[in-house]
Structure 1
Amino acid sequence: MRPRRRVGAITQQAGRCASTCLVFAPLDCRSPLSELCVRTALLATSLILALAAPGAASALSATNWAQCVPAEVIPPFPDASPPLPAGDESTIVAAERAQYLDRSRTVFEGNVTLNRGNQWLSTPRLVYDQAKDTYVADGEVHFQDPSIRFRAAHMEGEPGNDLTRLDDVTFQIIDLEGNGHASKVVMRGQKGTMRDALYSSCPPEHRQWSFRGNTIRINRDTGVGTVTNGALYLGKVPVFYLPWATFPIDERRRSGFLAPTLAVSGANGIDVMVPYYLNLAPNYDATLSARYLGDRGAMYGGEFRYLTERSNGIFEGTWLPNDDRLGRDRGLVSLNHITRFSPYWQGRANLNNVSDDRYFEDFGSSLTAASTRLLASSAGIYGRGKYWNASLSAEIWDLTDPVLDSTFEPFRKLPRVQFSWEQPILGNWLVAGLKSEAVAFDHQVKADARRVDLRPYVQLPFEGASWYVRPELAYRFTAYSLDDSLNVNGDKTPIRSLPIASIDAGMFFERPLNLGGTDLIHTLEPRLFYLRVPGNNQNDLPILDTQELTFGYGQLFRTNRFTGADRQSEANQLTFAVTSRLMQTHTGRELVTATVGQSFLFSPSRTVLPGQVAGERDLSPLVIEVGVNLSDRWTFTSAQHIDVDQGFTELSAFRLQYRFLETGLANLSYRFRANELEQLDGSVLYPLSPSWRLVGRWNYSLRDNSTLEALGGFEWQSCCMALRLMGRHFVRTREGQASNEILLELELRGLGAFGQRTGSLLERAILGYDR
């Protein structure tokens, strides 16, 4: 074989020729060959954007396709030249032979290649006609860059007219691993046409899905593609026909239909929703949806998003006119808004309104949604500095529990003013702070009230590398102004004032340890917390927004076991807790963690809510928490709250997870809280093969002897598509009424997903689920 020779180098700077051709064949420095790679790159990009379809990137990331071998329809060309250095804008033309055919035509023969940046093109023979300003590539044309590789049987162009034609094109999109072909491609300027085009992310020998179009036109100026006589194929069967459609070919947003969803449930019958996206302006858009519920009728929805220099937000709502089951209009309206006034101040609003107290039961998809008892709305101005936080807000509530009447609705806070400040003084020896709140309470049934709560405090922190001691002294002052029906003992302006003293201290010990040849670190972390709050009869204070916190490990170190300011718990107690960890020395991974904590009550707390009886216990519940993570396959966590005085368990919970094979996992958990709940929860993700997985969950109430949620189904996944089908039984009302539904989702890699979205449901139901 004759050695290949470098024919020339053409460098363009600011549209002018900076250097002439080098050796062997004289090339006019104005030759359009220097633009050939550029034109081909534009064609490659257009092929990617037009045929890969909008949403391809998101569709690729939504599912874990890691087990798939890339569908290399066109492997990397082995004779491709390496990319030119960054910043080198030269076009390098090389061939084995070059000669003049006549005074205007030059022919390059023998493995002709053109290099420009990271773009490479090769062809056996290239003829350039300078007089006509045309070129013809005879034989198979190869092109590759970081985004695409393609082969074409024939290529010709007219650079002066900005025209390129290719025949019988086969392409490989590298990032999306999509591939396809077109019988003819014509590019003129920023516009192009493809005939008999096909795109798929499947290998050609197993085309499980493909999108085909008789004619696909693209316009890079407008960023819009148009397909005529298009169809989606599953295998060789057309399942969806598009006589005409437009789609975006770049990142510019375009109005158009989004993928529909489909489900069947016992509560609503067949459920079909078709969303339509409206690109209204660069800084705001909207999505409208038409939803058909077989048992209820047509439901309409909308979402409006906006973004300005200082503000952003989402306004959304749904409307079901004349529900076929209930005979009345139903809907939901919501606004979430933020405005930034300055680096320190902003306004926020979260406003919600629902038509009726059964809305979430009928249109929610989980027991959590169905059990929503209160719908909150708030708006306010919020500020933050280095040492302070402030807010002026309003909060109202809608009762969404049909069992309760309006007397159970919380007080509205119209308005609520909060200010907090904390700053080191005297260097870092002393920290001073203040927490304050002033609220005007309003209620549509109960009387009104006003409350001011102040809590100044000082801290004296001492810290070392492995220890700390933080004493704190605070004073809490709370004053009320009450209407007649709320005052107790005839006092409309009750006042509570009391000091609060606490000391928080801890130490950290560690030692090296070797078990079975593994280097470990063993830690011991004791902590003491003393709290003293003198007794104060608070029974004459109303309950406006105060509740008792659910007991947990964190409450052992709180200065108040109540939320809100209407109760400050009396305390004379010492909490002792210790945490021990076993960690790998080199990775820091925690293999075993164990925590034990308990409060010793030197005097019983007489602070209670109305209807409660003060206890006489000497000890808080004993808290025991354990976490075990000895391998990548087994994980175990447990929490126990044991009432030592009464000799019974207040809370018991554990969770065991086992991972097996490559993607399989099983979860088993148990939850018990005295006089409230006792539940078993099991879930499994079982791979039958690399393509098939079974999914299942069963959540059972032992207390009520009933199933709270059960779902089961399968996933089938190949290297270019996935199918998920499952059935679900779940409790959707507070009275325990259950509903059944069937969910189906089809996902086409590189194109998108159709049907009911199952990902969020499975992620919630199966801990560790990964698509």
Structure 2
Amino acid sequence: MRMMNKHFLLPCALQRMMPGRFARASISVAVALLQASLASAQSADNSPLQLKPSSELEEQLSSEARSSVPTFVSGEHITGRPDLETTVEGSAALRKVDVVIKADRLDYYQPTDTAKATGHVRVNRAGNVYEGPLLELRVDAFEGFFNEPSYHFLRNDAHGQADRVDFLDEQRAVIHNATFTTCKRLPGPSWMPDWILKASTISLDNEEDVGTAEGAVLSFKGVPLLPVPYISFPLSDQRKSGVLPPTLGMDNINGTEVSVPYYWNIAPNRDATITPTLMSKRGLNLDTEFRYLEANYSGSLRADWMPSDQLRNINRWGLNLNHQARLQSEWTSSGAVLNMSLNRVSDDNYWRDFTRTNGSLTQRLLANDATLMWTNGAWASSVRTLKWQTLQDVTAPIIPPYDRLPQIATRYTRPNLWGLDVTLDADYTRFQSDSSLTLQPNAERTFSVLQASRTFQTSAGYVRPKIQLHATNYQFDTVLANGESSASRVVPTLSMDAGLVFERDTQLFGRKLLQTLEPRAFYVNTPYRDQSQLPNYDSGAYDFNFATIYQENAFVGNDRISDSNLLTLGVTSRFLDPDTGAEAARVGLAQRLRFRDQNVTLPGALPAQDRISDILLGGSVNWDARWRFDGTVQVNPTTEQSVRSTLGASYNPGSYRTINAAYRFQRDSSEQLDIGWQWPLNDLWGDRGKYLGPGQGQGEGRWYSVGRLNYSMNEGKLVDSVLGFEYDAGCWLGRIVLERLQTSSITATQRIMFQLEFVGFSRLGVNPLKSLKDNIPNYQNLREPGAAPSRFSNYD
């Protein structure tokens, strides 16, 4: 029989030919020194993958279901004999599920279920394309071979060639003399990619989601970088155990260091990373991180261990635990929440010597905190235990903060109770610390405050009167200077907050705006109660700014209630876009008028006697989306001098272009200038690049300058600095960054970070991305991980 340009059904089913995509890869033997991530590189902070709840499973079409799906063929000429053979010639095509085969000629022999495609064979499976001269396949069993194929993967735009692909069954295949790169192919027979991975064989097992490569070599610019005898990598987005890319580093504390992390995929919702690091000046450090994610709890545990640190001649260790859990209970409205944070280290110098090992352990005050919280109707309660580890420095000692063992707190909130908003807070805390250092007795403190307020609101403004009653009782472990072992205090507070809002249409620099004028008055009256004999466990003076100038109490915490008879006056004017409500500019000022001296002070402080406070001036300008200015100035009205000033500006005209500058001044204390930036250097010679989509850079062949400089004008030197360059070659990125971090008044840690990122494959070297993101506001990675493209974006 002969048919022209017809379609009919064949009793065959082409199963999976090749893996639909390659994804995050890792090396499975100790000698392997790179991550064969054939879909997406690691995240910027070297975290291998996000955990997924164990219930999330990838659905796949079973072999039985695929075999029942009809197969469609088409072509210019179709001939054959029923139940024997079928031949399609001229633009031959076979379609089934997500597989399309095209060729000059397609022969199918039904008794052996064998299909043979010759001449310009093209296979598109879920957007991944394979091309070659000859394909022979037992369709249902999916056994056969593909001669001299080239392939292109949709997910990461990677491609390569091979001598032959052998399909062992629908799940397994072996590729011989294979290559892999993400560099864009250019016309011409002499083209060579900037980087390429070559392997004698690549074996693919879709059932286990694992691929392996033997005899692999990674070459860059024609120079072999890493001969790797054996590589293992996953064939999907599922995580896989194995050795991650190494990191190499050099600084003045550790010397030369080499880290080779091992990633252990325990379960979809649990994993661990074990990172041995060899430091030439110090020895071997072992860092272990374990993460878990369950329906009702999650967290992470990280531990560092360095035996016989040559820097201090002692064993060093650090421990960090974060745990969050939701507990079910019948006596609460919606269960209870438990948050735990444990931070412990071996010695006082740990924060200085391990600046990069674990960010949460590089502080001198390490909190070990556990809090249980729950609600019950209008009541919200909590139980907390907090214990500090204080890392002391003989040149700059710290008075240790108080442990809270325990702290029990509750709050009752009742809005619109007889027209009043009523709140009751109660707190019991056991404060404990080293009395020889704090010079205060330990104590049990019970504190409560009852407050009631009512807001009278109109379209033109509001008035909010409020009354508060503070009650506190102390029970001391030892007697005070006056011979008492207990003390109590009851303090009432009356306040009145009132404000008006005026609006008008205006025009500024040719732009139509809505201008507001918002005067505000805040009065507070708290009688004096002698608190000079009371210890101070958690109180401190509020900073003087626009957020705190309208507070009833001058102190944060509950050990000091300031006596006050003062009036705060302020006014703010805003310029708003009348269509969107966006704020284009804002300016404001505020000042306190004191009617009597404030006699309640912190230990060692003098009473506040100035009848007129410093003047606060502040404002911000967002006139253009690219520019932002903000600043606050505190002026002494007597000396007419600035006491403290903070000025900031940022310019962000587009992707990968940002400059941020800040000036901070405090009289008789400090004066600093801070600037950070990311900017394409190609702009200097007129090459503005192009927009390639979010997280895709500005085009290949571009240089970027990145950095942050913090300069102390009083000392005349740089305090902290980060300075580097990035180069985007399209299929690979290069980064070199110099970092200097001040660890004390006379010492600093300096290091150099150099990294090569083979786009869609792996990174080699020291990763500077975390340092750049921490130091440069609005920094953008040149290759942000994106969602996998749809197979229909490359549909045949």
TM-score by length of 2: 0.84
- Aligned pair partner of 1:454 in 448, 455, 474: 448
CA contact (8 A) 2:21 2:128 kept: no
CA offset digits 1:256-300 (Å, max 9, x no partner): 111222221112211222211122334432211101122111111
CA offset digits 1:213-243 (Å, max 9, x no partner): 1111111111111110012111222101110
Residue identity in the other structure for 1:583 = L
- Aligned pair partner of 1:296 in 282, 293, 302: 282
Q: Using the TM superposition, give the Cα deviation of residue 674 of structure 1 relative to its aligned residue in structure 2, in angstroms.
A: 3.0
Q: Using the TM superposition, give the Cα deviation of residue 314 of structure 1 relative to its aligned residue in structure 2, in angstroms.
A: 1.3
Which has the larger displacement, 101-110 or 528-537? 101-110
CA offset digits 1:559-615 (Å, max 9, x no partner): 222222110111122222333222333444432222222222222321111111102
- Aligned pair partner of 2:404 in 393, 396, 413: 413
- Aligned pair partner of 2:318 in 332, 345, 360: 332
Corresponding residue for 2:173?
A: 192
Q: Using the TM superposition, give the Cα deviation of residue 130 of structure 1 relative to its aligned residue in structure 2, in angstroms.
A: 1.1
The structure-2 alpha-carbon separation of the partners of 1:439 and 1:61, relative to structure 1 and needing over 3 Å to count, comes to closer
Which aligned pairs between 1:486-501 and structure 2 lie closer than 5 A? 487-501=480-494
Q: Using the TM superposition, give the Cα deviation of residue 170 of structure 1 relative to its aligned residue in structure 2, in angstroms.
A: 1.9
Which has the larger displacement, 644-653 or 721-730? 644-653
Which has the larger displacement, 252-261 or 383-392? 383-392
Residue identity in the other structure for 1:223 = D
Measured in 2, the distance between the counterparts of 1:621 and 1:182 equals: 76
Residue identity in the other structure for 1:197 = A
Task: Report 1 or 2 for greater relative contact order, CA contacts < 8 Å, sequence distance ≥ 6.
Answer: 2
Q: Using the TM superposition, give the Cα deviation of residue 326 of structure 1 relative to its aligned residue in structure 2, in angstroms.
A: 1.4
The structure-2 alpha-carbon separation of the partners of 1:408 and 1:453, relative to structure 1 and needing over 3 Å to count, comes to same
Corresponding residue for 1:173?
A: 153
Residue identity in the other structure for 2:94 = L
Match status 1:361 vs 2:352: yes
The structure-2 alpha-carbon separation of the partners of 1:439 and 1:369, relative to structure 1 and needing over 3 Å to count, comes to closer
Q: Which secondary structure does the structure 2 equivalent of 1:329 belong to?
A: strand
Corresponding residue for 2:57?
A: none
CA contact (8 A) 1:46 1:220 kept: no
Measured in 2, the distance between the counterparts of 1:546 and 1:230 equals: 63
Corresponding residue for 1:377?
A: 368
Instruction: List runs of 5+ in structure 1 lacking aligned partners.
Output: 11-26, 64-87
Match status 1:585 vs 2:578: yes
The structure-2 alpha-carbon separation of the partners of 1:426 and 1:768, relative to structure 1 and needing over 3 Å to count, comes to closer
Match status 1:59 vs 2:65: no
CA contact (8 A) 2:320 2:361 kept: no
Measured in 1, the distance between the counterparts of 2:357 and 2:709 equals: 14
Corresponding residue for 1:74?
A: none
CA contact (8 A) 2:21 2:155 kept: no
Corresponding residue for 2:696?
A: none
Residue identity in the other structure for 2:420 = L
Match status 1:642 vs 2:632: no
CA offset digits 1:43-72 (Å, max 9, x no partner): 251567889976555539869xxxxxxxxx
The structure-2 alpha-carbon separation of the partners of 1:229 and 1:530, relative to structure 1 and needing over 3 Å to count, comes to same
Q: Using the TM superposition, give the Cα deviation of residue 701 of structure 1 relative to its aligned residue in structure 2, in angstroms.
A: 1.1
- Aligned pair partner of 2:477 in 476, 480, 483: 483
CA contact (8 A) 2:24 2:38 kept: no
CA contact (8 A) 1:707 1:730 kept: no
- Aligned pair partner of 1:553 in 546, 549, 564: 546
Which aligned pairs between 1:390-409 and structure 2 lie closer than 5 A? 390-403=381-394, 408-409=399-400
Q: Using the TM superposition, give the Cα deviation of residue 628 of structure 1 relative to its aligned residue in structure 2, in angstroms.
A: 1.7
Corresponding residue for 2:235?
A: 249
Q: Using the TM superposition, give the Cα deviation of residue 156 of structure 1 relative to its aligned residue in structure 2, in angstroms.
A: 1.5
Measured in 2, the distance between the counterparts of 1:49 and 1:265 equals: 30
Match status 1:204 vs 2:185: yes
Which aligned pairs between 1:8-87 and structure 2 lie closer than 5 A? 8=8, 10=9, 31-32=11-12, 35-36=13-14, 38-40=15-17, 43-45=18-20, 55=37, 58-59=40-41
TM-score by length of 1: 0.87
The structure-2 alpha-carbon separation of the partners of 1:186 and 1:521, relative to structure 1 and needing over 3 Å to count, comes to farther
Residue identity in the other structure for 1:460 = R
Corresponding residue for 1:761?
A: 771
Corresponding residue for 1:122?
A: 102
Q: Using the TM superposition, give the Cα deviation of residue 554 of structure 1 relative to its aligned residue in structure 2, in angstroms.
A: 0.8
Match status 1:474 vs 2:468: yes
Q: Which secondary structure does the structure 1 equivalent of 2:352 belong to?
A: helix
Q: Which secondary structure does the structure 1 equivalent of 2:770 belong to?
A: helix
Residue identity in the other structure for 2:225 = V
Measured in 1, the distance between the counterparts of 2:478 and 2:557 equals: 22
Which has the larger displacement, 512-521 or 104-113? 512-521
The structure-2 alpha-carbon separation of the partners of 1:601 and 1:57, relative to structure 1 and needing over 3 Å to count, comes to farther
Which aligned pairs between 1:89-108 and structure 2 lie closer than 5 A? 91-100=71-80, 104-108=84-88
Corresponding residue for 1:323?
A: 309
Corresponding residue for 1:731?
A: 742
CA offset digits 1:64-114 (Å, max 9, x no partner): xxxxxxxxxxxxxxxxxxxxxxxx966432211111269722111121223
CA contact (8 A) 2:183 2:730 kept: yes
CA contact (8 A) 1:283 1:306 kept: yes
Corresponding residue for 2:431?
A: 441
Q: Using the TM superposition, give the Cα deviation of residue 465 of structure 1 relative to its aligned residue in structure 2, in angstroms.
A: 4.8
Q: Which secondary structure does the structure 2 equivalent of 1:326 belong to?
A: coil
Measured in 1, the distance between the counterparts of 2:517 and 2:336 equals: 44
Q: Which secondary structure does the structure 1 equivalent of 2:309 belong to?
A: coil
Residue identity in the other structure for 1:166 = F
Q: Using the TM superposition, give the Cα deviation of residue 448 of structure 1 relative to its aligned residue in structure 2, in angstroms.
A: 2.2
Q: Which secondary structure does the structure 1 equivalent of 2:16 belong to?
A: helix
CA contact (8 A) 1:367 1:732 kept: no
Q: Using the TM superposition, give the Cα deviation of residue 512 of structure 1 relative to its aligned residue in structure 2, in angstroms.
A: 3.2
Measured in 1, the distance between the counterparts of 2:142 and 2:758 equals: 36
The structure-2 alpha-carbon separation of the partners of 1:50 and 1:602, relative to structure 1 and needing over 3 Å to count, comes to closer
- Aligned pair partner of 2:255 in 241, 257, 269: 269
The structure-2 alpha-carbon separation of the partners of 1:674 and 1:91, relative to structure 1 and needing over 3 Å to count, comes to farther
Residue identity in the other structure for 1:445 = S
Corresponding residue for 1:314?
A: 300
Q: How many residues align?
A: 718
Q: Using the TM superposition, give the Cα deviation of residue 313 of structure 1 relative to its aligned residue in structure 2, in angstroms.
A: 1.9
CA contact (8 A) 2:535 2:559 kept: yes
CA offset digits 1:450-484 (Å, max 9, x no partner): 11000011121233455333222110000101133
The structure-2 alpha-carbon separation of the partners of 1:545 and 1:351, relative to structure 1 and needing over 3 Å to count, comes to same
Match status 1:538 vs 2:531: yes
Instruction: List runs of 5+ in structure 2 lacking aligned partners.
Output: 27-33, 46-67, 187-191, 329-333, 683-700, 782-796
CA offset digits 1:313-344 (Å, max 9, x no partner): 21111111111121111121121112221233
Corresponding residue for 2:756?
A: 746
The structure-2 alpha-carbon separation of the partners of 1:3 and 1:766, relative to structure 1 and needing over 3 Å to count, comes to farther
Corresponding residue for 2:718?
A: 707
Residue identity in the other structure for 1:178 = A
The structure-2 alpha-carbon separation of the partners of 1:103 and 1:445, relative to structure 1 and needing over 3 Å to count, comes to closer
The structure-2 alpha-carbon separation of the partners of 1:503 and 1:611, relative to structure 1 and needing over 3 Å to count, comes to same
CA contact (8 A) 2:44 2:770 kept: no
CA contact (8 A) 2:23 2:37 kept: no
Match status 1:525 vs 2:525: no
Measured in 2, the distance between the counterparts of 1:714 and 1:364 equals: 23
Corresponding residue for 1:5?
A: 5
Corresponding residue for 1:562?
A: 555
The structure-2 alpha-carbon separation of the partners of 1:168 and 1:513, relative to structure 1 and needing over 3 Å to count, comes to farther
CA contact (8 A) 2:471 2:491 kept: yes
Measured in 2, the distance between the counterparts of 1:164 and 1:421 equals: 74
